[in-house]
Structure 1
């Protein structure tokens, strides 16, 4: 048991000390991303145009643009000896392919946690605050709009979030502080970056849980920078499904 714990500690210390980005540039890179990419693209610029013109499909273009810009930023700030593309490659290890089972178990556990956190949010802020009427209107307006919302929430946004908050921020912080502190700080920043008081608790729980799952994959050398795993999907799926279920309940009451 002692040997196993020391081996895990040694393995992770190597991963944490050898990161692709300079530790002194972590916060400046993160601030640049937040104020020059995330906020202008996510809460201004194209988002304002989309809202003014009632064109929700622009959300897809906005997220794709932010993802592309974020990856470009990470590629420009990475150390010369590293290649960002390699961090998205799954490391094939025939002897250790149990991450699918871990993903399934993690998905089930996180789904339960998100559900419980949603109940707490409803208690604190009310059920109406947890439902965005604009998103519900977008989901019900057309199949294309609904597809765009699901694509953004379940593929593009998780890829962006895991690349920035886990792949870059978490691994960089873990090289300068304890893993626990790095997880808490990165999860808190991940939650705050959504600018949603109603969903802060759910997002913080997701950040904590996915960060520990990320460590599980790192220690087993399944992959380096985390490709969006099924573990991260309960909350993105929860939002559109909840809007649709709310509409169906109200629709059944009318009829």
Structure 2
């Protein structure tokens, strides 16, 4: 028996080393990738530029809309976007560097070239025509082949702002197909003015005004509403602090016992807990069981992430060639497999200690779980936003991002978006809250003080996303999820918070992705 136990611990230790090494490799690898926030900043800049033209195309006198001024502050939107694009181009150029991967090199060059096209238009719009032409010239001369669409577009733009102007053939069709949003309207406006097509220019202004109105609505959705929610969250945080100070006690009481040798009451084992003390008392398994569940699940995560692409490769399928709907199906299948494996590991690990492991989870429709979940979401907004800004400055836009980001931003297929929304807003909160809060945090409360258990579970939750840029923000979010769960004693509260957070982020990405059409 002793030898079997020693062998069990040895195998678990070896598996732990492998899992920690895999996590470390993933985190180090993510350092070479740009943060998702950089791309989101570009989309938001484009949205801001488009919205700023509402005043120009409206009959109202300049300065008569305080709401618009509040949206972009005191700075000129064009200058604000110009600084943002310059900063991101510098970062992208440094990140590209020398590489032996031709696909990575080509993608990096294409991104920088796209930035140059837009930067030139921003220079031209701000009156820096010489800088605009200097930005377009290398791109226009890089490849004489007409098949290089960015080179063709750069040559057209260079001709439009040259002195004297040089109008290229098929200029209108090229600008309409290669440029989007504010950049397309600016280039076409210059073209129509040079061609003296006043009627067409008037129609373009009308279209630009309609686009600006839509952009204003989207800008309010991605800036104003989160700001209102964040201010409300600050009020909730202050209320909680005052409430706890008045009561002169810690916000979360310690578990009834932190000693692992004390056995909980048998009658409480399969009952839904009502207090933090009862929550800790339901934990009947040793530390090695906690260790086993988390390490085996991480190992299963890496196995599924490796095996599924191999199976597709053997079947002759190439995931990189899938369209938006195929990518959505693949993401849903992979996450469903992870859920099935995770629930199986959890059930089999707890079965020796609980007659009904599923009933042990604190899930109940009664109580104040809805108000805890909603208030927790609002309170998390200002905390995570502040940490995200600091994190972006600290990591200098490095650290990787969610692989689903590109699909969400660039896809306009509603069915695909519905599948992904179901995955992030329903499946992810269900599984991750059961694993990280329902099992992991609850188990830790028996062996650690409550706040330590919340902090550790939040950190592991963040690490599980395998991106350096996510660790600080998601640790804060994980701690808020843990706080809401332990206060409400109900997983429905943290599931609601988690679902609201993922849904809000998802909808924000869809709005930003639709802003560049």
Q: Please, what TM-score do these two structures have when normalized by structure 2?
A: 0.41
Q: Does 1:59 align with 2:331?
A: yes
Cross-structure match for 1:109: 379
Please identify, of 119-128 and 138-147, the stretch whose mean Cα deviation from structure 2 is larger. Answer: 119-128
2-structure distance, mates of 1:123, 1:249:
26
- Equivalent position SS for 1:208: helix
Cross-structure match for 2:416: 145
Q: Alpha carbons of 1:68 and 1:228: their partners in 2 closer, same or farther (altered >3 Å)? A: farther
Q: Does 1:193 align with 2:461?
A: no
Offset at 1:240?
2.5
1-structure distance, mates of 2:248, 2:473:
35
Cross-structure match for 1:83: 356
Cross-structure match for 1:240: 506
Cross-structure match for 2:44: none
Q: Alpha carbons of 1:5 and 1:244: their partners in 2 closer, same or farther (altered >3 Å)? A: closer
Offset at 1:5?
9.3
Cross-structure match for 2:302: 39
Decide whether the 8 Å contact of 2:369 with 2:488 is kept in 1.
Answer: yes
Q: Alpha carbons of 1:14 and 1:131: their partners in 2 closer, same or farther (altered >3 Å)? A: closer
2-structure distance, mates of 1:101, 1:28:
34
Aligned match for 2:477, one of 192, 197, 206: 206
2-structure distance, mates of 1:89, 1:168:
10
2-structure distance, mates of 1:160, 1:69:
11
Please identify, of 114-123 and 127-136, the stretch whose mean Cα deviation from structure 2 is larger. Answer: 127-136
Aligned match for 2:280, one of 9, 16, 25: 16
Offset at 1:226?
5.2
Decide whether the 8 Å contact of 1:47 with 1:62 is kept in 2.
Answer: no
1-structure distance, mates of 2:449, 2:255:
11
| Unmatched runs of 5 consecutive residues or more in structure 1 | none
- Equivalent position SS for 1:175: helix
- Equivalent position SS for 1:45: helix
Cross-structure match for 1:28: 292
Decide whether the 8 Å contact of 1:75 with 1:83 is kept in 2.
Answer: no
**Total equivalences in the alignment:** 241
Decide whether the 8 Å contact of 1:99 with 1:217 is kept in 2.
Answer: yes
Offset at 1:18?
2.6
Cross-structure match for 2:515: 249
1:208-233, Cα deviation, whole Å (9 max, x unpaired): 00101110122xxxx4x557522123
Offset at 1:92?
5.4
| Unmatched runs of 5 consecutive residues or more in structure 2 | 1-246, 257-274, 313-317
2-structure distance, mates of 1:121, 1:66:
29
Q: Does 1:98 align with 2:368?
A: yes
Q: Alpha carbons of 1:128 and 1:7: their partners in 2 closer, same or farther (altered >3 Å)? A: closer
1-structure distance, mates of 2:334, 2:457:
23
Offset at 1:130?
7.1
- Equivalent position SS for 2:298: helix
Q: Alpha carbons of 1:126 and 1:238: their partners in 2 closer, same or farther (altered >3 Å)? A: farther
Decide whether the 8 Å contact of 1:16 with 1:175 is kept in 2.
Answer: yes
2-structure distance, mates of 1:20, 1:69:
23
1:231-255, Cα deviation, whole Å (9 max, x unpaired): 123442344234323323333xxxx
Whose relative contact order is higher, 1 or 2, with alpha carbons under 8 Å and at least 6 apart?
1
Cross-structure match for 1:166: 437
Offset at 1:31?
0.6
2-structure distance, mates of 1:230, 1:171:
18
Q: Alpha carbons of 1:107 and 1:209: their partners in 2 closer, same or farther (altered >3 Å)? A: same
Q: Alpha carbons of 1:245 and 1:117: their partners in 2 closer, same or farther (altered >3 Å)? A: farther
2-structure distance, mates of 1:176, 1:8:
11
Offset at 1:182?
1.4
Decide whether the 8 Å contact of 1:163 with 1:227 is kept in 2.
Answer: no
Q: Alpha carbons of 1:18 and 1:63: their partners in 2 closer, same or farther (altered >3 Å)? A: same
Cross-structure match for 2:393: 123
